[in-house]
Amino acid sequence: MNSCKYLILASGTGSNAEALMKTAKENNINVCGLFSDKSNAEVLTKAKKYEVKTFTTEEKDNKDEIFFKLSQVIEELKPDWLLLAGFMRILPTKILQRFFDEELQQYRVINIHPSLLPKYPGLGGYRQAYENGDTSTGLSIHFVDEGLDTGKLILQKSFSIAESKNLEEVIEKGKSFENKYFPEILLKIHNGNKKDLLNELSF
């Protein structure tokens, strides 16, 4: 299939993006590009390893310029889905509307977040859980809407942090869970089970 299926958006080191690209390569899934709003992001190097075409912005670009460039990439590649793997910006409605799915009544845009939403939206979910003395935390995978981590939940997985010695240990544990479950959602979509995303169990 030559049409573009998945465009990954990422801002940082890209462990989740790499997990997605690795799964895609192993299963012949068409990830046609990776867009980063950071020209020096480590994830760009990881994308080259998997022969995924990269797109980025300049350091001087403001928010409007970044989203204009993203719109150009979407227009060029025409992806079916956007997968947000540590992309630290809220997508504007104009971009989201390109991905509205009548069957799902959702945008075909999925994000992974390091907390058990609605707890700790925004930045530093694991840090907030650890500093607040929570005995457990987890990850959320959700459809994206116009809000800050407010879209319909697809999957949540919790794990204990009661015995964690420091924040780094919590983050490392969280990343291992994220890297396992985000690719599973990609496989579910690839295998034609997108409606199952509306019925995933959360715990």
The total number of residues shown for the chain amounts to 203
CA dist., res. 124 & res. 115, Å (int): 9
Q: Is 113 designated active site?
A: yes
Spot the catalytic one: 113, 142, 190, 194.
113
DSSP-derived secondary structure letter, 110 = E
Q: Is 34 helix (H, G, I), strand (E, B) or coil?
A: strand
For CA atoms 73, 82, 48, 13, give the dihedral sign: positive
Asked whether the beta carbons of 119 and 130 are under 8 A apart, the reply is no
Active centre residues (catalytic): 113
